[in-house]
Homo-oligomer: A and B are copies of this chain.
Amino acid sequence: MILNAFEMNCSGHQSPGLWTHPDDQSVDYKKASYWRELAVLLEKGKFDAVFIADVLGIYDVYEGSRDAAIRNGVQVPLNDPSYIVPIMSEATDHLSFGITASVTYEHPYSFARRMSTLDHLTDGRIAWNVVTSYLKSASVNLGLQQIPHDERYDLADEYMDVCYKLWEKSWEEDAVIQDKTRRIFTEPEKVHDIHHKGKYFSIPGAHLAEPSPQRTPVIFQAGASTRGRKFAVDHAELVFISSTSIHKIKETVQLFKEDLKHTNREADNFKIISMVTPIVAETTAEAEEKFEEYTKYASKEGALSLVSGWTGIDMAQLKADEKISYIENDAIRSTLKAFEHYTVKETASFVGVGGFGPVIVGNPTEIADALEAWMDETGIDGFNIAYTVTPGSFKDFIDFVVPILQARGRVQTAYKEGTFRKKLTGSNYLPHSHQAKRVQISKAEGMFG
Chain A residues at the B interface, C-beta cutoff of 8 Å: 9, 11, 17, 19-20, 27, 30-32, 35-36, 56-58, 65-67, 70-73, 76-80, 82-87, 89-91, 105-107, 109-110, 113-114, 116-118, 120-123, 137, 140-143, 171, 176, 178, 180, 183-188, 191, 201-206, 208-210, 212, 299
B70/A121 in contact, CB under 8 A: no
B84/A83 in contact, CB under 8 A: no
Residues of B within 8 A of A35 (CB): 121
Alpha-carbon distance between A120 and B66 when the two chains are bound, in angstroms:
23
B30/A109 in contact, CB under 8 A: no
Known: A36-B90, A86-B90, A141-B204. 12 other contacts (CB 8 A): A11-B185, A19-B180, A31-B121, A32-B86, A32-B89, A32-B121, A32-B122, A56-B110, A70-B185, A82-B83, A83-B121, A106-B106
B109/A71 in contact, CB under 8 A: no
Residues of B within 8 A of A84 (CB): 86, 121
With contacts A109-B142, A120-B30 taken as known, whether A58 is within 8 angstroms of B205 at the C-beta atoms is: yes
Closest CB-CB distance, A78 to chain B, in whole Å? 5
B141/A109 in contact, CB under 8 A: yes
Alpha-carbon distance between A1 and B141 when the two chains are bound, in angstroms:
42
Closest CB-CB distance, A276 to chain B, in whole Å? 25
Residues of B within 8 A of A105 (CB): 107, 110
With contacts A204-B141, A209-B77 taken as known, whether A71 is within 8 angstroms of B121 at the C-beta atoms is: no
B113/A80 in contact, CB under 8 A: yes
Cβ contacts A to B, 10 pairs, < 8 Å: A17-B183, A31-B120, A72-B183, A73-B185, A77-B209, A79-B117, A82-B83, A83-B117, A106-B110, A143-B203
Smallest CB gap from A89: residue in B: B32
A210/B73 in contact, CB under 8 A: no
With contacts A80-B113, A89-B32 taken as known, whether A183 is within 8 angstroms of B299 at the C-beta atoms is: yes
Residues of B within 8 A of A180 (CB): 19-20
The answer, among B120, B141, B178, B202, for a CB contact under 8 Å with A79, is B120
A70/B188 in contact, CB under 8 A: yes
Give the top 5 A-B pairs by smallest Cβ distance, nearest first.
A73-B185, A67-B188, A86-B86, A77-B210, A80-B117
Alpha-carbon distance between A141 and B83 when the two chains are bound, in angstroms:
25
Smallest CB gap from A211: residue in B: B77
The answer, among B19, B56, B212, for a CB contact under 8 Å with A208, is B56
A188/B66 in contact, CB under 8 A: yes
Residues of B within 8 A of A66 (CB): 188, 191, 206
The answer, among B17, B83, B191, B209, for a CB contact under 8 Å with A70, is B191
Residues of B within 8 A of A209 (CB): 77-80
A57/B205 in contact, CB under 8 A: yes
With contacts A72-B185, A121-B32 taken as known, whether A202 is within 8 angstroms of B90 at the C-beta atoms is: no
